[in-house]
Copies of this chain bind each other. A is one copy, B any other.
Amino acid sequence: MSAQPTACVLVIGNEILSGKTQDTNLQFLGFELAKLGIRLAEGRVVRDEPAAIIRHVNECRREFTYVFTTGGIGPTHDDITAECVAAAFGVPLVLNADAVERLQRGGRPLNEARLKMARIPRGAELVDNPVSNAPGFRIENVFVFAGIPSIARAMFASAGPMLVTAPPILSASVDAFVREGDFAATLEHIQQRYATVEIGSYPFNRDGLFGATLVARGTDRAQLREVIDEIVAAMTALGGETKVN
């Protein structure tokens, strides 16, 4: 799976770290990227602090095929993502005429604060925001999205054509009513025989019935089916019921 594109999500915002707001963008992006064959390989939640944002943008853009940031592109003083991304790339923020035109569609007076949302790192390309006009942008392999989930989702849809995709990462799963401690050795043997399938075990307790959801991920549907069949057979041999999802 070494040719598979990878991604990192940088969730930017003190409100996520303070516990005020539950992030949901990372889960959404992980799920959607898998459909495009891009593996979300890491996430970081970063405070609204220039040095931290710049450092993480630079570390991650070198390590992953794509970086997606969410949050911090509004008009207020705590919205510093665009200027930090520009600093990370060593380019100035410049007023983007196309972005100004889009902001004018909002029908509100374009004061200094609103014009801030049209200042984009030099060389960046706009990412359309069909929800509220103020655009996101892409610079090299870094995509900068809003934090509000409905807008982040719309921007991801707009950015789709800019991404180099790969065969989708598929998943198959089965619920087994056997305790993890009783099937761990068996499951490990199955994993060892399928190097290109990633098998995860996620325990549950449903009304006192202990078990685990076994998830197989990979790009080869036939192989995933084989792995699930082997897991079902192994769990049955251990005396546990299974339910293929």
Contacts and interface: CB of A to CB of B under 8 A. Distances in A.
B52 A42 contact: yes
Interface stretch (A17-25, A88-96, A158-166): A17-25
A54 to B, nearest CB: 14
A125 interface: no
A2 interface: no
Interface string A1-42: 000000001010111111111111011111110100001111
Nearest to A40: B17
B14 A188 contact: no
Interface string A198-214: 11111100000000100
Contacts of A44: 42-45
B43 A30 contact: no
B19 A28 contact: yes
Contacts of A27: 16, 19, 21-23
A20 B200 CA distance: 11
Contacts of A76: 180, 183-184, 187-188, 201, 212
A105 interface: no
A70 to B, nearest CB: 13
Nearest to A103: B181
A19 B31 contact: yes
A40 B18 contact: yes
A22 B19 contact: no
A45 B46 contact: no
Interface in A57-79: 74-79
Given A42-B45, A75-B181, A76-B180, 17 more contacts: A14-B200, A15-B200, A16-B26, A17-B30, A18-B215, A19-B34, A23-B23, A23-B26, A42-B44, A45-B45, A48-B200, A74-B180, A75-B180, A111-B181, A111-B182, A113-B180, A148-B203
25 contacts: A11-B43, A15-B200, A17-B30, A17-B39, A17-B41, A18-B34, A18-B171, A19-B27, A19-B34, A20-B31, A21-B27, A23-B23, A41-B47, A42-B46, A48-B200, A74-B201, A76-B183, A76-B184, A77-B187, A77-B191, A77-B199, A77-B201, A113-B181, A113-B182, A113-B185
